[in-house]
Each structure stands twice: as structure tokens, then as C-alpha cells.
């Protein structure tokens, strides 16, 4: 079952990658694709341990950025959340929504909408879509991030990056996506609750890495 889940995670990730349809515009700098080391994001977060999912070189070539992280976090109760980050620094990017190609043979988007993640510091609005197929359901939550700015709206991300560029400020951009399976002994609402708790723990840590 674990091997099946690993394969399913990878297929879902690759399908999502295919949806990004990245268009890069060279900046005036010779350093066209500067990178950050996403592997430095803590592997242990609270009671969440992790393992990295290794990607083939062609994935980085397709995305035109070396800054990609796919990491599965598992807590002490054996609940798992897959964290995917695709990051661009000092470049303009065009992301198409992950929903567009997140389905394959026998699978489809069963539900979509938004989820609000609240903590003491802020409220985060994340996009939600649930992929269903072959007797399994996978919940996906994602947002866009540029510095401290977080939004569920791609248009707002682009406007924020444009304003920063005009002001001479960093205009990085990232897609941050969380995925989890709905298990036999846990329903969709409980799965989302687990994911929200994880998002509240990991999001503040990303500020130091997605600059």
C-alpha cells in the first residue's frame, strides 16, 4: 500500500507539473535563473518527520528552475501531507492552475473551492480541489507566495510582483501546494483539518527560505 501511495503521489505531482506551462522572461541580469536551496527547509517540523521525493532532471528542465521541493511529511499519528514548492527568483513566470491537468485516466476533480487557515498571526486563503478516482480521494490545497505576501489569486500575485519590480524590490514567486489522501478511517473534513494544522506550522517557516 505504501508503494502504491508513493507512486500515486509521484503521478499526481507530475500531472500538476504538466499544468504549470511555465513561460520565462529573461531579466537584464546575467543570472537568469538564480536559485535558493529549498532542501534547507526543516525536515523535522514539530512532530512531523519527512522524506524527500527525488525528481528526474527533466522535471527541472521543464520548469526552468532548480528550486523545486517535493517532500512528504508524516506526523506521530502516521498522517502524511505532501509538500510541493516550485519557486522562481527575480523572474516573471506564468503558472496555470494545478487543477487543469491534475486528472488522468479514471480520475476527475470531485470538488473545488477555497479553505481558510486561521492562526494567531494571520488568515491564509488557499485554493482547494479534491481528485477522485480508482476508489481513492486526494485533497489538494495551494497558495501563491511572494515574500511575505500570500494569496490564493494568481492575478493578485502577478500584480504584487509587478509592483515590487517597479519599486526595485525582490519579485520572487512560488507555488506552495499541500496534498493528502483521504484514508479509510478519516473523512475529507478530518483530512483537511490535519492539513490545516500542518500548514499553520510550516507556512511561518517558509518566510526565511522563499525570499
Mean pLDDT of the chain: 82
Q: Which of 94-98, 116-120, 130-134 has the lowest mean pLDDT?
A: 94-98
136-146/123-133 β-pairing:
antiparallel
| Residues 144-157, mean pLDDT to the nearest whole number | 92
Q: Are 129 and 111 in contact (CB under 8 A)?
A: yes
Q: Is 131 exposed, middle or buried (0-12, 13-18, 19+ CB in 10 A)?
A: buried
Bigger pLDDT: 127 vs 147? 127
At 189, the pLDDT band (50, 70, 90 cuts) reads: very high
Residues 49 and 77: their CA atoms lie apart, in Å, by 11
- 50 versus 96: which is more confidently predicted? 50
* pLDDT of 185: 72
Amino acid at each position: 500500500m505504501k508503494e502504491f501511495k508513493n507512486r500515486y503521489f509521484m503521478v499526481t505531482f507530475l500531472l500538476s507539473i504538466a499544468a504549470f506551462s511555465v513561460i520565462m522572461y529573461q531579466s537584464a541580469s546575467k543570472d537568469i535563473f538564480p536559485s535558493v536551496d529549498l532542501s534547507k527547509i526543516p525536515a523535522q517540523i514539530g512532530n512531523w518527520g519527512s522524506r524527500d521525493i527525488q525528481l528526474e532532471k527533466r522535471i527541472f528542465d521543464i520548469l526552468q528552475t532548480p528550486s523545486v521541493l517535493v517532500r512528504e511529511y508524516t506526523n506521530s499519528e502516521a498522517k502524511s501531507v505532501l509538500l510541493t514548492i516550485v519557486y522562481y527568483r527575480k523572474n516573471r513566470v506564468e503558472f496555470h492552475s494545478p487543477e487543469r491537468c491534475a486528472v488522468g485516466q479514471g480520475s476527475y476533480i470531485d470538488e473545488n473551492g477555497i479553505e481558510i487557515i486561521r492562526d494567531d498571526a494571520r488568515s491564509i486563503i488557499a485554493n482547494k480541489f479534491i481528485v477522485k478516482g480508482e476508489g481513492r480521494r486526494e485533497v489538494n490545497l495551494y497558495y501563491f507566495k511572494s515574500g511575505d505576501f500570500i494569496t490564493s489569486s494568481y492575478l493578485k500575485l502577478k500584480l504584487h510582483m509587478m509592483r515590487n519590480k517597479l519599486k526595485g524590490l525582490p519579485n520572487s514567486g512560488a507555488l506552495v501546494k499541500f496534498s493528502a489522501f483521504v484514508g479509510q478511517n478519516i473523512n475529507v473534513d478530518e483530512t483537511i483539518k490535519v492539513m490545516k494544522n500542518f500548514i499553520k506550522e510550516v507556512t511561518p517557516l517558509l518566510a526565511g527560505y522563499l525570499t
